[in-house]
Amino acid sequence: MKIGCPTEIKPQEFRVGLTPSAAMEAVNNGHEVIVQTGAGVGAGFNDADYEAAGAKIIATAKEIFDAADMIVKVKEPQAGERKMLREGQLLFTYLHLAPDPEQTKDLLASGATCIAYETVTDRNGGLPLLAPMSEVAGRLAPQVGAWTLQKANGGRGVLMGGVPGVGPARVMVIGGGVVGTHAARIAAGMGADVTVLDRSLGRLRYLDDIYGGVFKTSYASAQNTIELAREADMIIGAVLIPGAAAPKLISRAQLSELKPGAALVDVAIDQGGCFETSKATTHQDPVYEVDGIMHYCVANMPGAVARTSTIALGNATMPFMLALANKGWKKACADDPHLKAGLNVHAGKLTYAAVGEALKMDFISADDAIKG
């Protein structure tokens, strides 16, 4: 199979879909790998690294899209990229279709087969291709939140760890999954007073067991949420429903109850955000203010630490990418129900129920797509 990796064109996106290491694995499996010139520069990989791995360097994205059987990317294809997709081509990348009807329509119109990193599952019910980026985004959230809290950036002017005689920042993390756990660990490591909220008592028991002395836990009822929010200097939104739009946990009306200059960090912004007032921002202009509350809603947080993110993502996607290349998408998905869960679009039809329900569009099952 011919595997193509174009340069990411979304603003401030420095990651790359294939590492030289992944390219070498694909070449060693008998596949041809073509990479757009400069694709890896943002993550610290130059063209020579790819050539040493056995890949061929190509000048333009159009040549990559025209020649490749499978396109491997990081971010969802932008409008110009979607026009270059063709019927029968395989796209393997993050899609986040639920809050994005325009992209969904374009992918359906292309006739391509699209497998989304964020809906591939594992035997424990986890999301193994989202987990590495969730780990990165979670660990990054208190770091950017601490920056947002600085007075010069519009925040309350509160130091995360306080100093002797002055209490630390109060950090509230909504969601105790991968993002929330990593966010809470780092925030606590910075010396903050941290509480994690979740609706799963089993998860809260686990967190209390493992991190009982590091941060506190609370049940995520509406009452607990707003009571803790009123006292918080920083609120990290870390709630994700696989493939669906994130629930809105703090309304615009409730902003007036928060401390002036408090920082909201919305890690769920890729799925529409979990605060009513969230809107996607970029690394160039990450923070905005609504009713005196600072919002950090960068849509691709892991892109800020592109090298760490690219290597972490490459480690996770590699076995799936090789399975798709070695077997073709139909057999690879038929053999592995977890990879099959990643199938979102095939030949003009939606194949993922949560996306169809979110966008009120018709969909078929992945099994029907494979049989078809």
Contact partners, residue 111, CB within 8 Å, separation at least 6:
85, 86, 87, 88, 347, 348
Give the span between the Cα atoms of 134 and 268, in whole angstroms: 10
End-to-end CA distance of the chain: 21
DSSP 69: S
For residue 330, give both structure tokens: 């139909």
Q: Identify the burial level of 57 via C-beta atoms within 10 angstroms of its C-beta, where 0-12 means exposed, 13-18 middle and 19 or more buried.
A: middle
Is residue 243 within 8 Å of residue 98, measured between CB atoms? yes
Q: How many other CB atoms are there within 10 angstroms of residue 337's CB atom?
A: 12
Catalytic residue (one of 31, 96, 182, 346): 96
Give the span between the Cα atoms of 233 and 183, in whole angstroms: 15
Q: Give catalytic status of residue 31 as yes or no.
A: no
Handedness of CA 370, 82, 138, 46 (dihedral sign): positive
Strands in 234-237's sheet, in edge-to-edge order, are 216-219, 193-198, 170-174, 234-237, 263-266, 293-296, 287-290
Strand partners, 218: 197
Catalytic residue (one of 100, 106, 266, 270): 270
Catalytic positions, please? 96, 270
